[in-house]
């Protein structure tokens, strides 16, 4: 791999790491493509993120899961199978598995394609209003229908593959891939290689409304049946879209998968134990 993209979180620690990484790669004859914000911070030539996603052979993400989620959507939009190497500079880092200290020990292996990569499923989320698809997104983690701070509970009709599942009265609903951990809402931890996604009600009015895992072949349609001016669709926790009564949110498995380079020595369970502090 000769063209290496660097996309960093807009914080000093990530800028410093990007500068060091860029310098080392350049000395080894690689073409380095740095995102514009980071490039301005370190006084280098920058490129917009869409260009990096469309040109790079591999992208190193310096930040945390939030930064990686945004890059995953860019790669999907570019319709490319470029690998992503996540380096965790944040507080949790389920997706960005490598630490900054581990990066330089394993970077050359990653560039040489010697580190394994997992293909993670993504979701295609559409908003249908009065029979017309007015918005469409592809996300890695989740699509969340949630009410505002002052709004009442929302009513949601949920259909799976055209058949009625239930009507939920709740603060909202999370539809998540196995890469998302809706733990605070009572959702399960799911191994990322299990082919499914999970519907988790947020603070449901009826306690029998529990999370349900569905096969990744399912098509979910969620209709907002209550009238409210303060209900939104949030995608990967980063994109918001205001909803209206009778809007339908359609969710299905995307045709695209994102390739995340795995930690070279730690398996999923070790990372899980470490991040959730099990046994401490």
What's the pLDDT tens digit per position in 157-173? Answer: 999 999 999 999 999 99
Q: Would residue 230 show up in a list of annotated catalytic residues for this protein?
A: no
Q: Same domain, yes or no, for 13 and 83?
A: yes
Q: What CATH number is given to the structural domain containing 138?
A: 2.60.200.30
User: How many angstroms separate the CA atoms of 242 and 73, rounded?
Assistant: 20
Q: What is the pLDDT of residue 272?
A: 86
User: Residue 278 burial (CB < 10 Å; 0-12/13-18/19+)?
Assistant: exposed
Q: Same domain, yes or no, for 74 and 173?
A: no
User: How many angstroms separate the CA atoms of 256 and 233, rounded?
Assistant: 21
Q: What is the pLDDT along the chain (280 residues), one digit of tens a residue?
A: 899 999 999 999 999 999 999 999 999 999 999 999 999 999 999 999 999 999 999 999 999 899 999 999 999 988 888 999 999 986 667 888 898 889 988 999 999 999 999 999 999 999 999 999 999 999 999 999 999 877 788 999 999 999 999 999 999 999 999 987 677 788 888 998 899 999 999 999 988 889 999 999 999 999 999 887 789 999 999 999 999 999 999 999 999 999 999 999 888 898 888 888 888 7
Q: What is the pLDDT of residue 280?
A: 74
Q: Same domain, yes or no, for 105 and 129?
A: no
| Four-point Cα dihedral 30, 35, 36, 40, nearest 10 | -70
Q: Same domain, yes or no, for 102 and 46?
A: yes
Q: Same domain, yes or no, for 156 and 238?
A: yes
Q: What is the pLDDT of residue 97?
A: 86
Q: What is the pLDDT of residue 276?
A: 83
* 112-140 exposure pattern, b = at least 16 Cβ within 10 A, e = fewer: eeebebeebbbbbbbbbeeeeeeeebbbb
Q: Same domain, yes or no, for 191 and 244?
A: yes
Residue in 44, 140, 29, 27 with CA at minimum distance from that of residue 8: 44
Q: Same domain, yes or no, for 182 and 108?
A: no
pTM of the predicted structure, to 2 decimals: 0.91
Q: What is the pLDDT of residue 92?
A: 66
Tokens of 180: 């998302």
Among 35, 48, 57, 65, which one carries the catalytic annotation? 65
The total of structural domains in the chain comes to 2
Helices (H), the chain: 12-27, 36-42, 49-55, 65-77, 100-111, 268-276
Q: Same domain, yes or no, for 129 and 42?
A: no
Q: What CATH number is given to the structural domain containing 111?
A: 3.40.50.10330
Residue-number span of the structural domain to which 100 is assigned: 3-116+262-276
Residue in 6, 13, 8 with CA at minimum distance from that of residue 31: 6
Q: Same domain, yes or no, for 93 and 164?
A: no
């Amino acid at each position: 791999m000769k063209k290496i993209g660097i996309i960093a979180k807009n914080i000093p620690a990530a800028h410093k790491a990007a500068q060091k990484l860029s310098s080392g790669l350049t000395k080894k004859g690689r073409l380095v493509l740095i995102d514009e914000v980071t490039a301005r911070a370190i006084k280098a030539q920058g490129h917009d993120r869409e260009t990096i996603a469309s040109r790079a052979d591999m992208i190193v993400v310096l930040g945390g899961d939030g930064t990686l989620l945004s890059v995953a959507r860019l790669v999907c939009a570019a319709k490319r199978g470029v690998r992503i190497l996540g380096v965790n500079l944040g507080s949790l880092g389920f997706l960005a598995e490598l630490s900054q200290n581990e990066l330089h020990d394993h970077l050359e292996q990653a560039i040489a394609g010697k580190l394994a990569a997992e293909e993670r499923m993504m979701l295609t989320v559409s908003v249908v209003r009065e029979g017309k698809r007015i918005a469409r997104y592809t996300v890695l983690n989740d699509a969340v229908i949630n009410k505002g701070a002052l709004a009442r509970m929302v009513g949601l009709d949920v259909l799976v593959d055209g058949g009625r599942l239930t009507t939920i009265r709740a603060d909202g609903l999370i539809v998540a891939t196995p890469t998302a951990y809706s733990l605070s809402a009572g959702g399960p931890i799911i191994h990322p290689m299990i082919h499914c996604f999970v519907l988790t009600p947020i603070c449901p009015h009826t306690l029998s409304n529990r999370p349900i895992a569905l096969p990744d072949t399912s098509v979910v349609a969620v209709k907002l049946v209550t009238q409210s001016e303060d209900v939104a669709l949030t995608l990967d926790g980063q994109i918001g879209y205001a909803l209206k009564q009778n809007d339908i949110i359609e969710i299905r498995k995307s045709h695209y998968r994102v390739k995340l380079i795995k930690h070279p020595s730690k398996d999923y369970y070790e990372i899980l134990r470490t991040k959730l502090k099990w046994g401490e």
